[in-house]
Amino acid sequence: MPERIYPLRRGFVPGGELAKSPRLDLTTMNQRSNSTRRLGFTLPELVLTLAIIGLLAGMVVNTFSNLQSDSSRMVARQQQRALQNAVDAWIASQLRSPGENGQFLSLETVRADYNSRGHSKGRLNLVQAYLDDGTFEHFDDASVNTGRIKSDALTRIKSYLKLDTWGATSSPKVEMVAE
């Protein structure tokens, strides 16, 4: 009958006899070392894994920062359109309403009133009734008495809106200008 091999424990040897000093069986050790698996990762595997994770994290951060600037640009364009619509509505209402003497205002009179405001902030005050209160207050709070109309979105994309002088051959335009 083949000899039974018991697990190695202190004080036991193959065959089950108690030994005075622990004795190692080389055949059992060889079987164990061949059956053990490698634990952990090698340094190149760790470096490669960390590099891939770093690249993916960088791509995610870049995507989110681009989304924020894209949304700021979109909000700024919407604000530009809202202000342009307010200017156009103000002009249309001025041309349709009679002046102090009961006669309708001419285009030249409306243009002179618009241009007399001097800078963008004065022209913004002129069209205040054609903007909703929140939009006007936002522009008013962020702008100073210069030719620049600002908002939070415009500040994030480093731009401002400008209401230039209304020329004789054109209509007034709201321009978005980079700082």
HSE on the CB side for 176, CA within 13 Å? 19
Residue 130 pLDDT greater than 80, yes or no: yes
Q: Which of 152, 149, 145 is nearest to 176 (CA)?
A: 149
pTM: 0.64
**Domain ranges, ordered by start, for the chain:** 76-178
Which residue is listed with tokens 């083949």? 2
Residues 6+ apart with CB under 8 A from 162: 120, 147, 148, 149, 174, 175, 176, 177
Taking CA atoms, 51 is separated from 44, 46, 58, in Å, by: 10, 9, 11
Span 49-100, pLDDT tens digits: 999 999 999 998 888 877 777 888 999 999 999 999 999 999 999 888 887 7
